[in-house]
């Protein structure tokens, strides 16, 4: 194929591309589609609620009474749930510091108090002891309960699973 044939083919491809771009611009000016201000559909009967201050659960999300749940909690299931935590925390006495502090003896211990771990200022300022109620609220949604915590865990939504984990953590002493 000589260069003249190649030039004709390249010119034909270029003309077709320009024609397509031109037709697209003309179609956009004729058939202009107005985009909605808020994308999506409004579902009738659904009411949006704002979350409560200080990371407390929404009124619809009131946490179950942890002391009642602890009465029927399964420690073995809590140990199994701890596997989610084991990527960042240890559960043995004198355990090493990983991404998070060790969980040995956590129940009753003051928050942000492990001497060798660098806590976020939010968790250090929290200053409360890790009672079963505090652990219940924190483990539900950590980032909502203590704004500014470094803990990136999403939380445990199921009450029974959270209660079993807290029952397991209570045995670590």
Q: Residue 9 has which token pair?
A: 């083919």
How far apart CA 58 and CA 52 sit, in angstroms, is 5
Q: Are 125 and 114 in contact (CB under 8 A)?
A: no
Query: What does the pLDDT read at residue 116?
Result: 86
Query: What does the pLDDT read at residue 77?
Result: 92
Query: What does the pLDDT read at residue 111?
Result: 85
Q: Residue 143 has which token pair?
A: 């980032």
Query: What does the pLDDT read at residue 59?
Result: 45
How far apart CA 113 and CA 119 sit, in angstroms, is 8
pTM over 0.85? The answer is no
Q: Residue 48 has which token pair?
A: 């949006």
Q: Are 57 and 140 in contact (CB under 8 A)?
A: yes
Owner of token pair 């129940």: 107
Q: Are 67 and 132 in contact (CB under 8 A)?
A: yes
Q: Which of 157, 168, 171 is nearest to 80 (CA)?
A: 168
- Helix %, strand %, coil % for the chain, to 5? 45, 0, 50
- Give exposure, 131-156, as e/b (b: 16+ Cβ within 10 Å): ebebbbbbbbbbbbbbeebebebeeb
pLDDT along the chain (173 residues), means of 10: 87 96 90 79 67 50 80 90 88 86 89 86 87 90 88 88 90 88
Set out the domains of the chain in order of their start, with CATH numbers.
61-171 (1.10.760.10)
Query: What does the pLDDT read at residue 14?
Result: 97
Question: How far from each other are the two terminal CA atoms of the chain, in whole angstroms?
Answer: 85
């Amino acid at each position: 194929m000589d260069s003249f044939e190649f030039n004709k083919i390249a010119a034909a491809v270029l003309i077709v591309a320009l024609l397509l771009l031109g037709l697209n611009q003309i179609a956009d000016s004729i058939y202009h589609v107005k985009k909605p201000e808020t994308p999506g559909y409004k579902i009738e009967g659904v009411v949006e609620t704002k979350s409560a201050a200080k990371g407390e659960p929404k009124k619809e999300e009131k946490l179950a009474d942890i002391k009642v749940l602890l009465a029927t909690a399964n420690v073995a299931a809590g140990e199994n749930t701890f596997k989610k935590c084991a990527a960042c925390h240890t559960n043995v006495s004198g355990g090493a510091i990983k991404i998070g502090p060790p969980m040995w003896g956590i129940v009753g211990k003051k928050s942000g108090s492990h001497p060798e771990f660098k806590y976020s200022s939010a968790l250090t300022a929290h200053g409360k002891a890790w009672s079963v109620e505090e652990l219940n609220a924190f483990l539900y949604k950590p980032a909502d309960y203590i704004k500014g915590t470094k803990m990136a865990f999403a939380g445990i939504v199921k009450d029974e699973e959270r209660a079993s984990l807290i029952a397991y953590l209570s045995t670590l002493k």
